[in-house]
């Protein structure tokens, strides 16, 4: 280490881990009685997935989970966040449990525990049983109750070994990309549907939370929300107003009701929502205390009166066109702490798809750009901790290259490359960097830091 290097040490109990989700890595689409999910069906619709691919095989993780856990152990992960596939556990959405489906998660959890890795399951990461979509999906008020029953079936089997239960992953994306823009399954394109779905998702969180509290009283209750730090393009009143609406929609719509503040009223009015789906008792269920807030954050957005401002040539961006802007995550964490004061917070997803086009002599991908991304975001987490923000850990997205939803297999988020022909896993240089950081419980900052763009307009999280 040169004299100018600065080493950042993390708290002793800081959790270092990685995240994945069922549909993106598992494969085994109809193995052992698994039913189809909305994503199995969506992938088969013409033009929905950029490369025409699907999740039938993906990373073949159901077959290879033992090797995968061994790899996690070699990297030194403290925790592994994965999701449970509802249609694998309950192919018909409600009623009978598919024992072999649940057996898989039982084995996975034991394998993780045996390797000293904390399993962090998410109960819903977007793969709704198709039969439930045919009954209305998240537009139906019955689905949250079905979700609570499914949660109970999972708790019955795994409840004795799980410390933290996460109900939903990113309700914003489910409601807005699944029901408003139609980019994701089930592909609806209606603002009104999005609002209905958003409330039913929150209700599902509340009902499942109640079951978790009563059936696994020693475990912690968590939800994972995504946030996109938002700045107005200029100081003009029009840009400001447009950015406020997006900020409320993207960053406040879910965290507000969870913390007892109700849905952001001005934005509800902006969308013309009459709250007709909200019934007596719903908001109390939704605002029951959680123990951990999971935070997913990838990029910053600049909003003008005409919508999102595209990145200029000077902007550092990833292969999906998302701006790389680590300072924004620092502001986000301080804002959440200040505004909502959650008991505990964790980055449950952060990472980036990069070109991955440089290889070393041994064939491994040399991804300095991904290392810089993860390092500089972790640096922000470190500063937030120093400022008193209760950050308990960081989970990189993702352990593996995998099926990136509507983008298919194009974007590579993994710190481990997957050869889809052979299913060989090859750690990239970022995996080595991450593993070393875990071992040292910290890392050195480079002598020459990456220069990111400054603020464009006033960041709405500064206010």
Compute the distance between CA of residue 402 and CA of residue 306 in angstroms, rounded to an integer: 33
Q: Do strands 15-19 and 79-83 pair parallel, antiparallel, or not at all (unpaired)?
A: parallel
Of 82 and 405, the one with the shorter C-beta distance to ligand FCB is 405
List strand residue ranges (DSSP E) for 228-325, in order.
Answer: 230-232, 292-297, 301-304, 307-308
Which is nearer to ligand FCB, 170 or 244 (by Cβ)? 170
Closest CA to 122 of 184, 180, 208: 208
Q: Minimum distance between the CB of residue 412 and ligand FCB, rounded to whole angstroms? A: 11
What per-residue string of b and e applies to 8-36 under the rule 16 or more CB within 10 Å gives b? bebeeebbbbbbbbbbbbbbbbeeeebbb
For binding to ligand FCB (CB under 6 A), which residues are involved? 21, 24, 169-170, 173, 226, 296, 349, 397, 404-405, 413
Q: 272-294 burial string, b = 16+ CB within 10 Å, else e?
A: ebeeebbeeebbebbbeebebbb
The closest alpha carbon to 167, from 224, 92, 108, belongs to 224
Q: Taking the complex as a whole, how short is the minimal distance between the CB of residue 218 and ligand FCB, in angstroms?
A: 27
Which is closer to ligand FCB, CB of 124 or CB of 273? 124
Rounded least distance, CB 43 to ligand FCB, Å? 14
Backbone φ and ψ for 245, nearest 5 degrees, come out as: -60, -45
Smaller CB separation from ligand FCB, 385 or 395: 395
Q: Which two tokens stand for residue 156?
A: 């019955």
Distance between CA 251 and CA 317 in Å, rounded? 21
User: In this structure, is the dihedral angle defined by the CA atoms of residues 47, 409, 118 and 8, taken in order, positive or negative?
Assistant: negative
H-assigned helices in 28-187: 38-43, 61-75, 86-89, 99-114, 130-134, 142-158, 171-175
Angle between helices 61-75 and 429-440 (to 10 degrees): 50
CB-CB contact of 211 with 155 (8 Å): yes
8 or 180: CB nearest ligand FCB: 180
Q: How far is the CB of 281 from ligand FCB (least distance, A)?
A: 29
Active site residues: 170, 349
E-strand ranges in 309-365 read: 345-349
Count of all residues that appear for the chain in the document: 463
Smallest separation, CB 356 to ligand FCB (Å): 15
Residue (390 or 408) nearer to ligand FCB, CB: 408
Are 109 and 147 in contact, with CB atoms under 8 Å apart? no
Pick the closer one to ligand FCB by CB: 192 or 316: 316
Q: How far is the CB of 9 from ligand FCB (least distance, A)?
A: 29
**Distance, CA of 20 to CA of 400 (rounded, Å):** 8
Residue 352 three-state SS: coil
Distance CA 456, CA 463 (A): 15
Cis peptide before 172 (omega within 30 of 0): no
Give the residue with the Cβ less far from ligand FCB, 8 or 177: 177
Q: Shortest approach of ligand FCB to residue 411 CB, angstroms?
A: 8
Give me the least distance between CB of 393 and ligand FCB, in Å please: 17
């Amino acid at each position: 280490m040169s004299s100018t290097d600065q080493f950042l040490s993390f708290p002793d109990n800081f959790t270092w881990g990685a995240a994945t989700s069922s549909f993106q890595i598992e494969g085994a689409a109809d193995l052992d009685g698994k039913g189809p999910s909305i994503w199995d069906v969506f992938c088969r619709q013409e033009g929905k997935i950029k490369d025409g691919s699907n999740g039938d095989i993906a990373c073949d993780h159901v077959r290879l989970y033992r090797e995968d856990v061994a790899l996690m152990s070699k990297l030194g992960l403290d925790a592994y966040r994965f999701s449970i596939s509802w249609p694998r556990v309950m192919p018909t959405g409600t009623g009978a449990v598919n024992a072999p489906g649940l057996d898989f998660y039982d084995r996975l959890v034991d394998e993780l525990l045996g390797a000293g890795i904390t399993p962090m399951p998410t109960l819903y990461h977007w793969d709704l049983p198709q039969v439930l979509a045919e009954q209305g999906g998240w537009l139906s008020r019955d689905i949250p109750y079905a979700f609570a029953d499914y949660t109970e079936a999972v708790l019955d089997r795994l409840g004795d070994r799980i410390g933290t239960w996460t109900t939903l992953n990113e309700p914003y994306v489910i409601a807005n990309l699944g029901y408003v823009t139609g980019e994701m399954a089930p592909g609806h394109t209606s603002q009104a549907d999005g609002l209905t779905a958003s409330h039913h998702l929150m209700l599902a969180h509340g009902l499942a939370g109640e079951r978790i509290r009563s059936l696994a009283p020693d475990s912690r209750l968590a939800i994972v929300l995504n946030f996109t730090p938002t700045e107005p393009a200029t100081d003009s009143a029009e840009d400001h107003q447009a950015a406020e609406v997006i900020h409320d929609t993207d960053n406040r719509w879910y965290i507000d009701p969870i913390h007892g503040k109700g849905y952001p009223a001005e934005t509800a009015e902006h969308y013309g929502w009459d709250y007709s789906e909200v019934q007596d008792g719903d908001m109390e269920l939704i605002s029951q205390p959680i123990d951990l807030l999971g935070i997913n954050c990838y990029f910053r957005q600049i909003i003008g009166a005409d919508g999102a401002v595209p990145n200029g040539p000077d902007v550092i961006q990833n292969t999906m066109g998302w701006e790389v802007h680590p300072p924004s995550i620092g502001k986000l964490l301080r804002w959440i702490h200040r505004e909502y004061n959650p008991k505990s917070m964790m980055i449950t997803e952060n990472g980036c798809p990069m070109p991955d086009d440089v290889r070393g002599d041994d064939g491994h991908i040399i991804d300095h750009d991904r290392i810089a991304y993860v390092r500089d975001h972790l640096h922000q987490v470190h500063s937030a901790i120093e400022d008193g923000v209760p950050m308990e850990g960081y989970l990189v997205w993702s352990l593996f290259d995998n099926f990136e939803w509507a983008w298919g297999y194009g974007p590579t988020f993994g710190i481990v490359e997957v050869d889809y022909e052979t299913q060989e896993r090859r750690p990239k240089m970022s995996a080595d960097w991450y593993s070393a950081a875990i071992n040292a419980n910290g890392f050195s900052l480079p002598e020459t830091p990456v220069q990111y763009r400054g603020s464009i307009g006033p960041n709405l999280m500064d206010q």
